[in-house]
Structure 1
Amino acid sequence: MVINSLSVRQLYRQIFRNEAKIVPSGVVIRHLLLVVIVVCNFGCREDADESQLAFYEGPYRTSFKVELLHSDSAIVRTKLMADKQLEFKNGDAEFPEGVVIHFFDKEGELSTTIRADRGYLDRKTNIYRGEGDVQVHNLVKEQKLNSEELFWDKAKKKIYTEKFVTVEQPDRIIKGTGMEADEGFNEYKFTKVTGVINNVL
């Protein structure tokens, strides 16, 4: 099909609404080719397969040097500290660089500490989990606990684990599997005691 110069000019005028200006046919053809190429690119574009689109499940917020306080009757009861906190869309949190929790007695004095290499919060159950080298220290009774995993149920005010546990007291060391205690680590009980060493100090 042959397009003469006059019909090209008329088409160009209709597209660009420029009735007064005559443009050389070579320029008009170049403009038309550009329009055709752009239209073809959009027309040939395939729709994205939504099933292949990955949903982001990582943290949506990162906080540093975190301190979370919980008070009762104007007295601080617990204090959670972490160098880094990752928060997720469902409310869960992660403390990849470690976590420290302080517990205070009725007078507001520090009584117990929990330390872990890594920490996690399940928002749905409101239960914290410590992993790695987990240590609990009751400063009043001078007793220590060590395990590789420990849970803190904030609502029930208790700590527990199903892993191997070592408890050090001034007069003995107790080893066992599984343990439950109040969050202040004042009273505790083992699921299974595997060994006791008396008069170590």
Structure 2
Amino acid sequence: MKRSDLIKTFHLHIAALLLGCFFVMGCENDIREVNNLTQKKSMGVEEAIKIESYMSEGGKTKARLLAPKMLRFMPTGSSADTSYMEFPKSLHVDFFNDSTKVESTLDALYAKYFDAQKKIFLRDSVMVINLQSGDTLKSRELWWDQSKEEFYTDKPAEVHQRNGNVLYHSRGLRAAQDLSWRETYGNSGKVTASEQGLQ
């Protein structure tokens, strides 16, 4: 080989080495991105639209759930107790009494149902209305415990009563699903007085 050929070969090897180093240094994996990719691959996702579902117990219809969209996440290769359903575009629930008449309603812009715990996390413009008493519970976040048939939150909540009273609960509350009873924390509010006294 000629000297000029050796120099060209040497320069090509140096160029290839530098180019390889450039690509190796340019490849960087963010651990969060890698985890997100592997998590997405390990979760089976089902999507459904125009959901209407009935919940019953002991042969009695307890509630009807309506939602425009539902995503069901089911982990593959692990226990079913980590599966959940997400309602990203709102949720409406009608709660029935023993006579199968709607006694209260629930609305939220977002909900996430955890199968194993039978609990639903509700977020964004959460509102529960007792149709008989007219009491309306409003909160940014609320949990619905389906087994206990009650709501609870540690976030600020307010109850609007039909008579105009507004009760503020700055540290949250626990209430029956039909709002027939409430346990409240950090109370304040505007209460109207009548001739008979406070109502």
Q: Aligned partners of 1:164 and 1:73: how far apart in 2?
A: 35
- Structure 2 CA distance, aligned partners of 1:182 and 1:197? 22
Who wins on radius of gyration, i.e. which is larger?
1
Give the Cα separation in 2 of the matches to 1:125 and 1:75: 21
Amino acid at match of 2:38: F
| 1:173 matches 2:146 | no
Q: Give 2:90's aligned residue.
A: 98
**Which 4+ runs in 1 deviate beyond 6 A?**
none
For 2:57 and 2:115, locate their aligned partners in 1 and report how far apart those are by CA, in whole Å.
Answer: 21
Gapped regions of structure 2 (runs ≥ 5): 1-30, 75-81, 195-199
1:183 aligns with 2:177: yes
| 2:186 match | 192
After superposition, residues 72-151 of structure 1 pair within 5 angstroms as 72-89=57-74, 90-151=82-143
Q: C-alpha separation between the residues in 2 aligned to 1:199 and 1:124?
A: 46
Deviation at 1:199, TM superposition (A): 5.3
Paired positions, count: 150
Query: How many Å apart are 1:185 and its aligned residue?
Result: 1.4
TM-score when scaled to structure 1? 0.69
Task: Give the superposition deviation at 1:122.
Answer: 1.7
**Conserved in 2, the CA contact under 8 Å of 1:59 and 1:86?**
no
Amino acid at match of 1:62: E
**What amino acid is the match of 2:168?**
K
Deviation, 1:56, is 4.1
**Structure 1 unaligned runs (5+)?**
1-50
Aligned match of 1:22: none
For 1:62 and 1:139, the matched residues in 2 are separated by: 32
* RMSD of Structure 2 on Structure 1 (CA): 2.1
Is residue 134–residue 150 contact of structure 1 (8 Å, CA) maintained in 2? yes
* AA of the residue aligned to 1:55: T
* Partner Cα separation in structure 1 for residue 193 and residue 86 of structure 2: 40
Q: Which residue of 2 aligns with 1:163?
A: 155
Aligned equivalent of 1:63, options 48, 65, 84: 48
